[in-house]
Amino acid sequence: GENVEQHPSTLSVQEGDSAVIKCTYSDSASNYFPWYKQELGKRPQLIIDIRSNVGEKKDQRIAVTLNKTAKHFSLHITETQPEDSAVYFCAITGGSYIPTFGRGTSLIVHP
């Protein structure tokens, strides 16, 4: 089946700094790469996604980059704010109905 590794498991930054979370995968058939944000006690919510025919996508302070050759994709958050503090999950989807999630990164933004 598909496998995805997510790093780091915890990331602590100062407000205003950038944060980068990386996921690597093994299945070359993977073609959709979403990122979810889960605030404490809440449901995961999609914040940005990218498909295999695109190398980069940006939405205000967040961006996702995809390197299909190296089989990794990353979430970039610039000018971090305390409200960015949450657990972030990457996921991959290939040809099955079963999305595979990373183990999550706990991002802490210190004011």
Partner 1 sequence: SQTIHQWPATLVQPVGSPLSLECTVEGTSNPNLYWYRQAAGRGLQLLFYSVGIGQISSEVPQNLSASRPQDRQFILSSKKLLLSDSGFYLCAWGRRVDEQFFGPGTRLTVL
Q: Where along the sequence are the contacts to partner 1 (CB under 8 A)? A: 31-32, 34, 36, 40-46, 87, 89, 91, 93, 95-99, 101, 103-104, 106
With tokens 């004011």, the residue in question is 111
**In terms of CB distance, is 19 or 102 closer to partner 1?**
102
CB of 110 to partner 1, least distance (A): 20
β pairing state of 10-14 and 105-110: parallel
**In terms of CB distance, is 14 or 97 closer to partner 1?**
97
- The vertex-45 CA angle with 83 and 4, nearest 5°, equals 105
CB of 16 to partner 1, least distance (A): 26
CB of 73 to partner 1, least distance (A): 14
CB of 79 to partner 1, least distance (A): 26
**In terms of CB distance, is 70 or 97 closer to partner 1?**
97
Cα 37 to chain centroid, rounded: 8
Whether 63 contacts 109, CB under 8 Å: no
Whether 19 contacts 107, CB under 8 Å: yes
Cα 104 to chain centroid, rounded: 8
**In terms of CB distance, is 14 or 40 closer to partner 1?**
40
